[in-house]
Amino acid sequence: MFRLLKGFGVTFNYFRKKNITIQYPDEKVVMPARFRGIHRFFPDKCIVCDLCVKVCPTDVITLTGKKSEENPKKKVIDTYNIDFQGCILCDFCTEVCPTDAIVMTARYNNLSSFNRAEQFKDIHWLSDNHVYGHYEESDPVPEMGERGERK
């Protein structure tokens, strides 16, 4: 019986300690810079080398290129799609990309949708995904509050 009360002692001790939970929809955790969140695509950097398509384990990336108007020897990206129904966010596409054209942001929410077709994200959606992440040349957008800090 004594040990049972001692156990309750641990519980009661927590009444005077600080709160460790966060109120999710109001405050959100900021993930670290390396976090493998939803992709961002930089169309200007892409050299259409097709490596991300080859390395993708779930075959969710599709792309097409076209001849550049300024320099007919070069290729530029035309369409670039990721099907997030199958993407496992493994990060291999950003790992093999020689020019860092595809990067991962720290974004982890707002990919839910009412139909499957909306999970299919095109080049415009992916290049508009302005959330900070493990890449340079971009202004970090502190979209979400600091962890545990109340707004």
18 binds other proteins (CB under 8 A): no
Strands of 10-142 (E only): list them.
Answer: 39-41, 61-67, 75-83, 102-104, 120-121
User: What would the x/- binding string for other proteins be over residues 80 to 99, using CB under 8 A?
Assistant: --------xxxxx--xx---
- Helices (H) and strands (E) counted in the chain, each on its own, are 4, 5
By beta-carbon proximity to other proteins, the closer residue of 1 and 117 is: 1
Nearest C-alpha neighbor of 92 from the set 104, 79, 108: 104
User: What would the x/- binding string for other proteins be over residues 128 to 147, using CB under 8 A?
Assistant: ------x-------------
Residue type present at position 58: T
Closest approach of other proteins to the CB of residue 115, in Å = 25
> Of the candidates 50, 54, 68, 99, which one interacts with other proteins according to CB under 8 A?
54
Q: What is the distance between the alpha carbons of residues 107 and 127, in angstroms, rounded to a whole number?
A: 14
Nearest C-alpha neighbor of 93 from the set 139, 131, 60: 60
4 binds other proteins (CB under 8 A): yes
Chain residues binding other proteins by CB under 8 A are 1, 3-4, 6-7, 9-11, 20, 31-32, 34-36, 51, 54-55, 57, 88-92, 95-96, 104, 134
